[in-house]
Chain A
Amino acid sequence: MKKYAAIIKGVLLYVLLTGATILMSFPLFWMISSSLKTLQETNSPGIVWIPDSPTLEAYTSIFQNENFLRSYVNSVFYVVLALAGTLISIAAVAYAFSRVEWPGRNVVFFLMLSTMMIPPQALIVPQYVFFNKLDWIGTFNPLIIPGYFAGGAAMVFLLRQAMAQIPKELDESAFVDGANHIQIWWEIVLPLVKAPLATVATFLFVGLWNNLLTPLIYLQTIDLYTLPVYVSTLYNINNTVQPWPTIMTAAVLTTVPLIVVFFLAQRYILESVVVSGLKG
């Protein structure tokens, strides 16, 4: 009797898990399915789960859409450039907070942690004035340059925690061999925190790739638009009929890099969310 109860419980559990998975990933399925439909099918009152004869029409037309292609290039360019500088500066600052003893370290570290309470949006208005003075409105600069100053206290914290776990003896023996701090940072410490670095890089990538608010404020011409800004213009409330297959095709192509990065990094992410989330 007890055995049957356990089996029923197991089956029920998997039914619930599978049901939840279907619900959670349904938008993704719907996005792909709709991108293969015709306009009539996306606007039909009856349910069209999978189009009868899938058409790649929307794909061929979007690959001829110059604005879309340019916004894709813009997104890749801006994300790569911002990611590189942000990641390196975060790694440097995390090194200072974990591997070096310096006067004032605790005070500065406390200051950095307390900036996590400042919502980034509260800084947007004054920063806009500052970038306006520099004549940076209508350029990529405001989206990229602030990150070069170790933007993101939570990410510094995550990396610092990882670096602090490396035994001190490693640096000390390197010092005896005549290495300096820059060599120790680059050649000894960074290779040992590859997994946390990958995590930080993934979070930064997702944040940059999805970013809508600041590109919307600073990129004022269509030839500078990044993907989120351009894709949002495809849907226009004044259209009598929305070009859903086209919009969903753009959506699929925008989402692909996110999904690829997520699958490559999921091993690291799923654990570190908790580490950075519950900062004691």
Chain B
Amino acid sequence: MFSNPYLSVLIIAVVTVVFIVVCSYGLGSVARWAVRMRGASPKQQESAFAGYFFAAPWIVGFIIFVIVPLSFSLYWSFTDFRIGSGSVASWKGLENYRDILFNDEGFRASVVNTLYLTVIGLPLQMGVALFLAVLLNQRRPGERVFRMAFYLPVILGFNTAVLLCWRLMLNTGTGIINQIIREVSIAVPLFGYLTRALIYGQEIITGFFLGLNTGKYNLLMRVLEAGFPADNRVPLWVQSPLWTKMSVILLMVWGCGTMMLIFLAGLNNIPKELHEAAEVDGATGWQKFWKISFPLLTPYIFYNLVVGLISSLQIFEPIFVLYRDNEPIVSSTISMVYYLWQASFSHFEIGYGSAISWVILVIILVFTLIQFRLQDRWVTYDVY
């Protein structure tokens, strides 16, 4: 209808604003009429009108963009609905769900990968975040600048452009990270030895997880057969299925700024008197951290754990930028959201995609609820 894409969206935007104002006015008027029927005072009537008038954008949006899509997708998840096939969707019952949970390699891969990120990535990420928070919490001059530097990756982290820079840095031969590892290994043999030990351990663990994923442990066997890595071995960040998840973890650790700020708030909330009292009793800094700060930080650790787990299900950009089209490798690192995108939009199978969406939704809800339950058991809230 409109040839110019900018003009057409401007017109739609104006129409939307008019639509929202009309909805606001309508909803407000209905509310005013309803409370008047109940015999409310003019002031209460005015408040009812204003409340619904201002809240209407969210209420209307909630119905159009959340309730309706969720209901439709719940229905479609039991059918074989496809866009563009022209045929009418037919009822399949629980077949989609059965396929996803038991027959779909992509789903299984995404579950195993999430498990890996949770077991290995999250502790690393939280450890670094806590370490940085403790450093900042010493409150030395210049703290603000350091805080900014540590938070900046969160702003940049998921931008395609920045991820491409990581892609350059992670190149096996010409990437700066491996170049540095090589140079330092030559200069300091001990460092080289430690690196190779880490490479070995990492490959064994990842090989095991890949085995969980495919049911075949041949990669793990190959790593064990090759034995301790040779002198010139470096990590194969973006080249081998044994390393793809580690690259994602590297990005997670780099973007730990939000977790760090949460920990910083937690450290701030610890009463000074506790540390002072411990000092009088002759406690060392190490003891003070593990016996006082750490237990009081558990609610913050718990919070970061829940949020970190949920966000690892949703990782999309790093996988897309680093591994898209890299067919044999990409399945070793896909997240649930990447799997959803891949499965739904490659063939526009809406029924199947809807079922995946619901599986993700339920998993996230269940995790949130379980963790909130467990929270009571092991989180120390009130020590004061």
How far, in Å, is A178 (CB) from chain B's closest CB? 13
Whole-angstrom distance between the alpha carbons of A55 and B251 in the complex? 29
CA A227 – CA B321 in complex, angstroms?
13
The answer to the question of A123 belonging to the interface, with a C-beta cut-off of 8 Å to chain B, is yes
Pairwise interchain contact A101-B47, C-beta atoms closer than 8 A: yes
Q: Specify the chain B residue showing the minimal Cβ separation from A13.
A: B138
User: Which A residues are CB-close (under 8 A) to B151?
Assistant: 266, 269-270, 273
**Minimum CB–CB distance for A61 against chain B, Å:** 17
Q: Do B65 and A255 touch (CB < 8 A)?
A: no
Asked if B301 lies at the interface with its beta carbon under 8 angstroms from chain A, I say: no
* A150 surroundings in chain B (CB, below 8 A): 57-58, 61
Q: Are B261's CB and A277's CB within 8 A?
A: yes
Residues 116-130 of chain A: 1 if any B CB is under 8 Å from the residue's CB, otherwise 0? 011101111111111
Shortest CB distance A273–B (Å): 5
Q: Which listed residue (A96, A118, A255, A277) contacts B66, Cβ 8 A?
A: A118
Which of the residues A115, A121, A129 comes within 8 Å of B337, measured between beta carbons?
A: A121
Q: Which of A81, A122, A231 touches B164 (beta carbons < 8 Å)?
A: A231
Contacting pair A89 B47 (CB below 8 A): no
Q: How far is the CB of A134 from chain B (nearest CB, A)?
A: 9
Is B146 in contact with A21, judged by CB distance below 8 angstroms?
Answer: yes
Judging by beta carbons under 8 Å apart, are A237 and B326 in contact? yes
Tell me whether B360 is interfacial, beta carbon within 8 Å: yes
**Stretch among B7-15, B228-236, B290-298 lining the A interface:** B7-15
Residue B193 is within 8 A (CB to CB) of chain A in the complex:
no
> Is B357 in contact with A105, judged by CB distance below 8 angstroms?
no
The minimal Cβ–Cβ distance linking A123 to chain B, given in whole angstroms, is 5
Q: Are B176 and A149 in contact (CB under 8 A)?
A: no
**Which stretch (B90-98, B114-122, B153-161, B198-206) binds chain A?**
B153-161
- Does A8 sit within 8 A of B, measured CB to CB? no
Contact B156 A278 (CB under 8 A): no
Check B379 for interface membership: any CB of A closer than 8 A: no
Within the complex, the shortest CB–CB distance from A156 to chain B, in Å, comes to 7
Docked-complex contact B161 and A20, CB < 8 angstroms: no
Interface size class of B (residues with CB under 8 A): 35 or more
Interface residue B334 (Cβ < 8 Å from any Cβ of A): no
- A78 nearest in chain B by CB position: B9
B217 at the interface (CB under 8 A from A): no
Closest Cβ neighbor of A202 among chain B residues = B155
8 Å CB contact of B314 from A121, A126, A145, A244: A121
A228 to B164 CA separation, bound complex (whole angstroms): 10
In the complex, chain B residues 149-179 whose Cβ is within 8 Å of any chain A Cβ: 149-153, 155-156, 158-162, 164-169, 173-174, 176, 179
Q: A122-B361, A124-B357, A146-B61 are in contact. Are A140 and B9 (CB under 8 A)?
A: yes
A112 at the interface (CB under 8 A from B): yes
How far does the Cβ of B345 sit from chain A's closest Cβ, in whole Å?
A: 6
Q: How far in angstroms is the closest Cβ of chain A from B188? A: 16
Q: Are A151 and B361 in contact (CB under 8 A)?
A: no
Expressed in whole angstroms, the Cα–Cα distance for A16 and B162 within the complex equals 25
Q: Give A177-222 interface residues, CB cut-off 8 Å to B.
A: 181, 185, 206, 209-210, 212-213, 216-217
Contact of A156 among B58, B147, B166 (CB under 8 A): B58
- Is B208 an interface residue, CB under 8 A from the partner? no
* Known pairs A127-B65, A224-B5; A102 contacts B48 (CB<8 A): yes
Is residue B194 contacting chain A, with contact meaning CB distance below 8 A? no
* Listed A/B pairs (12) with beta-carbon separation below 8 Å: A13-B135, A13-B140, A24-B254, A103-B48, A121-B316, A128-B83, A150-B58, A151-B61, A228-B160, A235-B164, A258-B159, A266-B151
Please provide the 8 A-B residue pairs with the shortest distance between their CB atoms, ordered closest to farther.
A149-B61, A102-B51, A96-B54, A126-B69, A251-B161, A96-B55, A254-B161, A126-B73
- On B, residues with C-beta under 8 Å from A are 5-6, 8-10, 12-13, 16-17, 20, 31, 35, 46-48, 50-55, 57-62, 64-66, 68-70, 72-73, 76, 83, 132, 135-136, 138, 140, 142, 146-153, 155-156, 158-162, 164-169, 173-174, 176, 179-180, 183, 254, 258, 261-262, 264-265, 300, 303, 307, 310, 313-314, 316-317, 320-321, 324-326, 337, 340-341, 344-345, 350, 353-354, 356-358, 360-361, 364-365, 368
